[in-house]
Structure 1
């Protein structure tokens, strides 16, 4: 692997962990170093950092909070 790719990965611990967890990227980056931009997109998807994934998590949190509030209202009405 080229030194500039190695130094890039050393500077980005999240990308380094992604490459370690997906060793096929070692080969891809060694053969085509320009794919470093593709690895960023893949890592975002892997770590759940894309906008739709963040919105899904936010939506799940809101639904959970609504459920808890609904349960608290039901328990408060019974007393």
Structure 2
């Protein structure tokens, strides 16, 4: 593997873990070092750190908070 690619991987814990879980990438990077950006993209999606994943996680949090607010309001309201 090229030294510059190896150093970039060594700096990023997620990439190191991803390579250990997906060893096919070692071979792909040895043959085509220009696929490093594709490796980064695959790792981001694997660890669910992409923008769509973050937006979904944020939306789920907002929905949960809204549900809790409605529940607290229902508990506070005197019943009949």
TM-score (norm 2): 0.88
- As a proportion of its length, which structure holds more helix? 1
Other-structure match for 1:4: 4
Other-structure match for 1:14: 14
Offset, 1:23: 1.1
Determine the C-alpha separation between the residues in 1 that align with 2:44 and 2:53: 10
SS of the aligned residue for 1:48 comes to coil
Give the total of aligned pairs: 79
After superposition, give the CA deviation of every residue in 1:39-78 in whole Å (9 maximum; x if it has no partner).
Answer: 1111111121211111101100000000101110111114
TM-score (norm 1): 0.89
Unpaired runs of 5+ in structure 2? none
Runs of 4+ in 1 over 3 A off after TM superposition: none
Which piece of structure 1 moves more, 14-23 or 52-61? Answer: 14-23
